[in-house]
Amino acid sequence: MAVWEALLELADDHLVLGHRMSEWCGHAPMLEEDLAMPNMGLDLIGTARTLYDHAGKLEGKGRSEDDLAYLRDEREYRNCLLVERPNEDFAHTMLRQFYFAAFMRPYWLAALNSADETVRGVAGKAEKEMAYHIRHAGEWVIRLGDGTEESAARMRDAVEALHIYVDELFDSSDAAREAEAAGILPVRADLRPAWDRTVAEVFAEALLEQPKAAYAQRGGRQGLHNETLGHLLAEMQVVHRAHPGARW
C-alpha cells in the first residue's frame, strides 16, 4: 500500500461522481439545473484530473491521468459506493451530492495543511467549490423535503436508499492510513462531527429524519462495486478504448 493509491481513491470518488453529474446534461428538469449539474461535475472532474496526474507521478510507472481514468476496469476502481449510486431521480441526485460535499468540505479544509504541496493546492480550490455544492444541493434537499407530498416522499426514499452508503465515507483504507500518518491526507473518521452538523442543520429545515443505519454497505475501496459502476465505466471509457493511444 502506498500514498499514491490513497490519492487514486480520492480521484476515483471525484471522477465517478463527476461523471454521474454529467449524465444529467440535457436531461435536467429546468435550464438552471442543466447548467448547475454539469458545472458541479466539472469541478469534480477537474479535481480528479489533478489528483490522477499526481498519483501517476508518485506511482512512478509513467501512467498518465488518461491511463488511470480510461484503462482500469471496475475491480481496479477504488471509489466509495455512494458516488456510483445511479442518479435515479432529482432527489437521489441532490441528496448524494449533498452527502458527498458535506464530507469533502471539511476534508479539504483539513487538507489545507497537508504535507504535500499538490494536495494543498487542490484543497485550496476544492474547499470553496464544495461550499457551493453544499449550498446548492442543500437548498434542494430542503426544497424537496419541505415541499409537496410527492417531493417529500421522494426525498424520504432517497434518504432511505442512500444512508447505508454514508459510513464508508469515514473509513480509511490501508493506503489512506499511510497517507494520513504522513500528514498528507486528513483522518477520515475525524470528520464525522462536521458532517453530522451540516446534515442535521439541513435535515431540520427539510423536515427529514436521519434513519439509523441497520448496517453499512462497504467495499468500494477494495474494488467491490455495484453492477452500476460497470455500466458507467463502459460509457465513459468506450471512445478511449476504441481508439487506443488517441490524444486530443
Partner 1 sequence: MTVCWQGSAEAAWEAAAAVPDPEVPCVTVADLGILRWVRLEDGVAVAGVTPTYSGCPAVLAIELAIEAALRDAGFEARIERVLTPPWTTDWITEEGREKLREYGIAPPVKSSGSIRSLFGEVTVACPKCGSTDTEKLSEFGSTACKAHYRCRACAEPFDYFKCI
Q: Which residues bind partner 1 (CB under 8 A)?
A: 18, 32, 35-36, 39-47, 49-50, 117-118, 120-122, 124-126, 128-129, 131-132, 134-136, 138-139, 198, 201-202
**Shortest Å distance, C-beta 134 to partner 1:** 7
**Shortest Å distance, C-beta 52 to partner 1:** 12
Nearer to partner 1, 50 or 173 (CB): 50
Nearer to partner 1, 39 or 87 (CB): 39
**Shortest Å distance, C-beta 39 to partner 1:** 4
Nearer to partner 1, 126 or 175 (CB): 126
**Shortest Å distance, C-beta 3 to partner 1:** 18
C-alpha 20/C-alpha 26 separation (Å) is 13
Nearer to partner 1, 75 or 135 (CB): 135
Q: Are 91 and 144 in contact (CB under 8 A)?
A: yes
- DSSP state, 154? H
C-alpha cell at 162: 442512500
C-alpha 63/C-alpha 96 separation (Å) is 30
C-alpha 114/C-alpha 116 separation (Å) is 5
C-alpha 161/C-alpha 54 separation (Å) is 34
**Shortest Å distance, C-beta 122 to partner 1:** 7
11 C-beta neighbours (distance < 10 Å), count? 27
